[in-house]
Structures are given as structure tokens and as C-alpha cells.
Chains A and B, each alone.
Chain A
Amino acid sequence: MSLKTYREAINEALRQEMEANDRVIVIGEDVAGGAGGSAGGAEAAGGVMGITAGLATKFGRDRVIDTPITESAIIGMAAGAALTGMRPVAELMFADFIGVCLDQIYNQAAKFRYMFGGKARTPLVVRTMIGAGMGAGPQHSQAIYPILTMIPGLKVIVPSNAYDAKGLLIQAIRDDDPVIFCEHKGLLGDSCEVPDEPYTIPFGKAAITRKGDALTLVGMSRMVKHCNEVADRMKKDGIDIEVIDIRTTSPLDAATILESVKKTGRLVVVDEANPMCSVASEISSIVASDAFDYLDAPIKKVTAPHTPVPASPTLEALYLPTPAKIELVVRELLDY
């Protein structure tokens, strides 16, 4: 056990799974970095954010494969390799680029097991980066996971911390279905205690990160950090907020959320994605359907507005949910 960043935890998960199983390969743009360059093919990058750094040196370029910038071919190739016996981890640099290769994800990989009568296994992991907060503008900042969550046949993972990132990624690599693993670029440098040995965290099991009975705060990805901050601040006022990190949007652990709401009677869902047809709206719908009698107040969502992500840091700050905005809604609901 030692302090590791989210970036290091992901790198370690990849390294340990590649050591354990030589069918695990990494495919993507610049995942080794420097292929064919004038430096003689030295490992120059490790992906745009350095997450795969060191893997090419350790495992060779036959297992850490730099590709042309051609997302349909990358994801399709990874899906085909998964279908024929490999366990590929494809890096889709930014989740925003999913439009380019969505066909290969939702018409191909997500459908194989079902439309081939249960006989296909597609142990494919697509690692991709989500999230605003860096001034990267409308095409490099989206939290696009609701689009993927609504597709049957995909599992969608949204880790909020380094410990979960490692355990969930190892689970993803060992899983026999296509998994979309959404890394938040705003969390890459955050650290926490992470075991050195490999371990897994099952999908569809939410984590209760703060115990409480006044209100249930459900978050995902980077928003969990904000939710915890709000709960810690309110605890000083003697108010115990329960925080649930759903960890995976599909499968979704509705049971833990319902159990908590039955105890607290109040729900706020915090989601960085746009609000329409989102994970936040799905959770709200489930609770409204299955725990209506327990509610003491309306369900509230704190999300981005229904706009693209602006590049201006001033506007982007207004776009993103913040601990202050969450606290405001929480206090309003407690007074309801």
C-alpha cells in the first residue's frame, strides 16, 4: 500500500494485467509514442497524458501498438481482436472522439454476444478521457458517458479515485464483455492509498463514501469529490449527509441508492454530464418509481446546463457543478 495518483494507478493496473496475461495488449494513438520518429522509436509519450508510459519499453511494441489517428479502425480492430481471443485495451484519447467510431462500439462490439446467440465473447476495454475544467473547449471536455450508458451490451465505468481506478480497470480487463472505462482528466493527479498488488472491484456495486441520514447525495466520477467535500463541510454543522459513489453507470447499483433514500428521504444527484437523458435523470426516475413513498422532498439534480462545454475558463467555471452549487441545493432541500 502506498500513495499513488489516479494516473499511476491506471498504469499499474495495465502493467500488472499485461504481466499476468500475454493476451492483454494496448492499442491506440501515441500509447507508446515516437514510433518511426527521428529519435529512433524511443518511448516518447505513453499517450497524450502519459498514462501508458513505460509499457512499451517493458512489453515491446508488439503489445503496445501505436496506431495511425483513425478511431474507427482502432476500436474496430480491438473489437475484432477481442472476438478472436485477445484481451485488447484500446485507448480512445478523448471521449469526445467517440462520434468517429461509435458504430464500432454500439453496432459491433456491444451487440456481438446478443446477436450471435450468446456464443461470442468480446473482452474489449476502451479507455477514454472525459471531463471539463481545463479550458479545452467543446470538443475535448465532454462527460459523454450517458450516450454509452443507454446502450445495452456495454459496461460503463466512471472511477472517482485512484483506488477505484485500479480495481475497476483490472476487473474491466478480466471481463468478457465490452467495457468503456471513463477516466476523468481532472482526477489524473489526485492520489490516495492504493494497494501494490492486483485487486478487483466488482461492477454494479456502489461505494458509500460518507455515512449519514439527513440526505442522500449520489455522485459519479469527479463529482464524488465535490459531494464528499460538501458532506464534510456540512458535518461541521452537525448535518450527516450520505454520499454514494455509483462507480459504474452500467450496471447501475440501484439497490444501494434506494436503500439510502429510504433511510434519508431526500435525494440530490450530481452529474457532470448534460442533464437531458442523463445518468442523473435515470437515477431520479428509478427513485421516483421505487421509493416515492419514502421521499420527504422532491428529487433534485445538479448537473451541467444543457449547453456545449465553453472554452472560456470563466464560462467553464459557470458550466461545471461545484461544491458551492451542490451545497446550495442540499440546504434548500433540507429546508423543504
Chain B
Amino acid sequence: MRTIREFEERLHQEFQSGTVPGFLHLYSGQEAIAVGICEQLEDHRDYIGSTHRGHGHCIAKGVDVKAMMKEIYCKKNGVCGGKGGSMHIADLDKGMLGANAIVGGAPPLALGAALTAKTLKTGGVAVPFIGDGAANQGTVAESMNMAAVLKLPMVFMFENNGYAEFTAASYATAGSIEARAKAYDIPAVTVDGADFFAVYEASREAIERARNGGGPSAIEAKAYRFWGHFAGDPQRYRAPNETKELRENHDCLKHFAARVTQAALLDQAEMDAIDVEVMQLIEDAVIEAKADDQPDPQSLYNDVYVSYN
């Protein structure tokens, strides 16, 4: 969770300095959701499908942080050779089917990963992350129906961060997301996305159900987006004190720290040591990303078709 937070906060700074190409959609505030479920997924048999706000999902699923940073800088040694950028990071070896710049793009692909798991009997599970905006896309309704009909091993992870771009979910989303899943006879719960333990527990149950042949589940995690829709978004749609209030009262990292120290699972010194390690990793990642080469000009033409030699 700390790695995601520092990765994102640092990227925000770097973006302002003009060194990061393209668009950047930051995940800060939502870390407990990605980590709460991905902690329980395996690299090889379990898959996630992500969103345009995908850095946190990638890190939680184990994608190399330095290769990610290089990719966001669109450099040669980025995880996708600089051809994907922030919104298309994928690492199939880690079961990461790709961030997806198309809202509602990932759930149908996750159906496919779940179908593979079911057909090959791997015991694997597929998890599409779906924002509250994507929840209104037809692909999501189609995917829930298909998953229920074919009893696919899936967990639909809805991250309701309150805004689809600039438009509030309270305006754009009729009824509730949880109720929509239930209408397909998919077991569904709503949890506080700032509470790592709540996400973890709901995910544990859903993953277990999927692995045991019980079919799909859905989780609606109430999420807290600390930044705007994209880096640079002036956020005029938000009340002036809204993000301040979120950072003070709905920070999953603060919540996590309070819980683990109360329960004497970790002490402050141990957490500080983790923070130091994370800060160094992110610093190194940015330095290496900036120093990395531009992609080879010839690579523009690579990987469109298989060559027939």
C-alpha cells in the first residue's frame, strides 16, 4: 500500500514538471482495495483486468515497479517496451491482463481468463476492477450475465470512488451497484474501501467461492480518490474541503497503521523502516526511468503480425 501511495504521489510531482508523457490517472486513496484482494491472488493462475487508473492494481499484482516507471516514461525497458504507457501496462507472467484505457473494457477480457481457468481446471480466478463509471457500461452488464450463466470463477471488484471523470456517481448511477450484481443472482457485498481488512475479508470469501466452483461474486468497495480524474484536473466539481477531508478521515494507510499498532502486529519503527525502503525504491525507479533509452525506432514496426519466415 505504501509503495502504491509513494509511486502515485511521486508521479504527480513528476507530471507537474512535464517529464511524463500522456495522461496520468492516479490511484492514491484506493490502495487498500487493490492490495486487499491481490494479496490473495497467485501470479500464474489468477488474473486481474484493470482500468485506466491501473498503477495500483499492477503493483498489487506484483508487476515490477521499476519496469512500470520506465513504461510510464515510455522508455525502452518499460514493461511494454514504451508502447503501452500509463494506461496500458500489462504483464501476463504476473497474471496482469492490462490496464485498460477503455471504460468497461476489462470485464469481458476477464471473462475469458475465467473461462480458461474453468476449461483447464486450474483453480484460477479472474478479477476485473471496475469503476463506478464503468459500472454503467453495457459490457459490465453483459459480463455479469455471462459469468453467472457460465458459472465462471470471477470476482467483480467495483471501486466506487464517487466520480466518473467529473460527474458524480450519485447523479450518474441509478440504484446501487451491489443490487445490480444481485439481480444477476451474483452474491454481492458493499465494503469500506479504506478498510484493508474489510476488503480482504470480503475478497477471501469471494475468491474461495470462485475456486470451489461457486461462480462469480461482486464486491462494491466505497473508494476515496485523493486526486482528480487525471493529473492536472482542477476539480471544480468538488467542494474545496472535500479532498482534505478524505485525506484526513478516509486514508486507508492511516487506518491500516492504527489497526496494526493497536493489535501490536507491527510497531512504528517497523512501519518506518518499510517507508524508508519504499522511498528508496521509488527514487531509484524515477532515476532509472529518466536515464533509460528511448525505444529503438525500428520497434515502431515490430509486433503487429507474426512474420512468416
Contacts and interface: CB of A to CB of B under 8 A. Distances in A.
Contacts of A86: 112, 115-116, 119-120
B171 interface: no
Given A81-B112, A85-B120, A86-B116, A152 B146 contact: no
Contacts of A82: 112
B146 A67 contact: yes
Contacts of A153: 304-305
B89 to A, nearest CB: 9
Contacts of A70: 142, 145-146
A251 B119 CA distance: 32
Interface stretch (B90-98, B219-227, B235-243): B90-98
Interface in B93-110: 97-98, 100-102, 105, 107-110
Given A68-B146, A76-B111, A80-B109, A177 B305 contact: yes
Interface stretch (A108-116, A162-170, A229-237): A108-116
A78 B88 contact: no
Contacts of B146: 67-68, 70, 73-74, 77
Interface stretch (B76-84, B207-215, B257-265): B76-84
A113 B303 contact: yes
A203 interface: yes
Contact of B105 (A68, A108, A120, A177): A108
Contact of B113 (A83, A107, A116): A83
B156 interface: no
Given A68-B145, A75-B108, A117 B78 contact: yes
A290 interface: no
A77 B110 CA distance: 7
Contacts, number: 151
Interface string A181-216: 000000000000000000000111000000000000
B102 A68 contact: no
Contact of A117 (B84, B97, B142, B149): B84
A103 B105 contact: yes
B108 A118 contact: no
Given A67-B150, A73-B146, 6 more contacts: A25-B115, A72-B138, A73-B145, A77-B115, A108-B105, A116-B98
30 contacts: A65-B150, A67-B150, A68-B142, A68-B149, A70-B142, A72-B142, A73-B142, A76-B139, A76-B143, A77-B111, A77-B112, A80-B112, A80-B115, A81-B112, A81-B113, A81-B116, A81-B119, A83-B92, A83-B97, A84-B97, A103-B102, A103-B139, A108-B100, A111-B88, A116-B80, A117-B82, A119-B80, A119-B90, A119-B91, A202-B308
Interface of A: 25, 62-63, 65, 67-68, 70, 72-86, 88, 103-104, 107-108, 111-120, 152-153, 155, 175-177, 202-204, 251
